[in-house]
Amino acid sequence: MANHKSALKRIRSNFKKRLRNKFQHKTTRNAIRKLKECTSRKEADKQFSAVISMVDKLAKKNIIHANKAANLKSKLSKFVASL
At position 6, the amino acid (one-letter code) is: S
Closest CA to 69 of 49, 47, 53, 45: 53
Number of domains in the chain: 1
> What residues contact 65, with CB distance under 8 A and at least 6 apart?
59
Question: pLDDT value at position 3?
Answer: 85
Residue 47 lies in domain: 41-83
Q: What is the pTM of this model?
A: 0.83
pLDDT digits (tens, 9 = 90+) for 4-54: 999 999 999 999 999 999 999 999 999 999 999 999 999 999 999 999 999
Buried/exposed code over 43-78 (b: 16+ C-beta within 10 A; e: otherwise)? ebeebbeebbebbeebbeeebbeeeebeebbeebee
Residue 61, in any domain of the structure? yes
Residue 24, in any domain of the structure? no
